[in-house]
Chain A
């Protein structure tokens, strides 16, 4: 009962925040509403006793991805009226994506209801069960190859992204940090021995 009240409260806020992301005119507000939506879905995962996934969702998406998003959105000086015009322009594409998502959701629900997978609510875990340990045990034994391949793909993406941004502009003046750090006092200052000059 208490569990259900919590679930519906957070689910309602999640849907409200998600709608707000789409309909808010200010992009910074949209990003903040998306952060709220992530928090709400993290709480839903907590209710399903998946505390590792919940906390990692906050850590990765709220703590890193959305910060960079906010960064970019703040830098853009977006004209609100032009954005409004764009809403109808991109509507067919948006509708196409929405239809795709609905089809996928219906497929999963149909698959579940036809007994294709374990259906019903979340089973409560026994006392002392650690979600993190269980996930780690599966990830590093059964799925270790898939896990490592994913890691290599991510590394490749990092290398590719860095190579794309490493353009050297000709004539660009840059500091040579290692030379700056290696500077000694003798390179900059010369101590001169001389007699004190007295005013005549």
Chain B
């Protein structure tokens, strides 16, 4: 770094008080991550339309820019210059603040997500709890939007979404209990490090039922198809965001996709070793083979895989009926997770799988 930056800049940097240095570095880290996430979100809308188009035998967006690559920017500009209509009988303050409340937790969770072995904005001990706390806060945006709009459709959407998110959060929490039992830590970096050693030591194998439950609950938490009864076009028009237009709608849209990227990254970290390479254990490749190095690219590839799976689910399955969603959440997923936690206890006792090296 010293060779790249002129000496006088290093001197100026050193003359800053430590608090200011800390402030500048962490603010720039936050900015880099946030801008990165927003760009990924923009292109994931393009990715979704291309994937679903291909699955339905269409071409998808192909007019703006080469291969339609500039389509997300065209969409953003269109939404930015549209009028934001605020219904007269709505609760103005809550109506405006609701989209922000759904977007902020989705972005704030990235603070504890380790992007590489060394880079994480806030390396806190209780990272997993922080993730759970913030994902549960995200529901406020949806509920408040539904209530503040003062419309029956929006209110119905909000009620459905709230009940669904509260139900699936429990299954998600229990699935994560299994992950922390296997890793022995609440720190996301330590959870990833506990899965070092290539594909065979990822938590997805010993915790397969929890992985399935976690990912399906995650789809339900983000209100994506086939669990998108909160929007349910055919029944309640567009659910909680029926009266939102322009930028306010764009924020809800952004929040939904940011949540999808977040959930994909979390699933990758908890079950697929995060930034770790799947070929870490292949010693015949040589010690300094690029394929074996942990890097951001691996995390990105895993995120892309889960995003693709989310789109795939949307293109494949019809929407769930509401009572069946509740049944799946309460009567199938929660028992499965509880039983698997007990199984894990036995596995830890017998020192199988990730508990092999356990002392005592």
Contact = CB atoms under 8 A, between A and B. Distances in A.
A59 B126 contact: no
A151 to B, nearest CB: 14
Interface in A51-76: 51-52, 55-56, 58-59, 62-64, 67-68, 70-71, 74
B2 interface: no
Contacts of A74: 143, 147, 155, 158
B91 A28 contact: yes
The prevalent SS among residues of B at the interface is helix
B137 A62 contact: yes
A177 B323 contact: yes
Given A51-B126, A70-B143, A130-B125, A64 B166 contact: yes
Contacts of B186: 132
B216 interface: no
Contact of B139 (A2, A67, A175): A67
Given A28-B94, A63-B169, A177-B327, A132 B140 contact: no
A55 B133 contact: yes
B125 A51 contact: yes
B188 to A, nearest CB: 14
B295 to A, nearest CB: 28
B125 A131 contact: yes
B182 to A, nearest CB: 16
A52 B133 contact: no
A18 interface: no
Nearest to A66: B140
Contact of A32 (B94, B130, B323, B324): B94
A42 to B, nearest CB: 9
Contacts of B301: none
A55 B130 contact: yes
Contact of A71 (B124, B136, B162, B323): B162
A56 B136 CA distance: 11
Given A28-B94, A74-B147, A131-B125, A67 B130 contact: no
B125 A63 contact: no
Main secondary structure on chain A at its contact with chain B? helix
A14 interface: no
A67 B140 contact: yes
Contact of B132 (A28, A59, A131, A133): A59
Interface residues of A, number: 26
Interface string A35-63: 10000000000000001100110110011
Nearest to A73: B147
Contact of B136 (A62, A70, A130): A62
Contacts of A59: 129, 132-133, 136
B359 interface: no
B324 A71 contact: no
Contacts of A175: 323
B296 interface: no
A57 B130 CA distance: 11
A26 B159 CA distance: 19
B19 interface: yes
A63 B147 contact: no
Nearest to B170: A64
Interface of A: 2, 26, 28-29, 32, 35, 51-52, 55-56, 58-59, 62-64, 67-68, 70-71, 74, 130-133, 175, 177
29 contacts: A28-B91, A28-B94, A32-B94, A32-B144, A51-B125, A51-B126, A52-B129, A56-B133, A58-B133, A59-B132, A59-B136, A62-B136, A62-B137, A63-B136, A63-B137, A67-B136, A67-B139, A67-B166, A68-B166, A70-B144, A70-B147, A70-B162, A74-B143, A74-B158, A131-B126, A132-B129, A133-B125, A177-B323, A177-B327
Given A64-B166, A67-B162, A74-B143, 16 more contacts: A28-B144, A32-B94, A55-B130, A58-B134, A58-B137, A67-B139, A67-B166, A70-B140, A71-B143, A74-B158, A130-B125, A131-B126, A132-B126, A132-B129, A177-B324, A177-B327
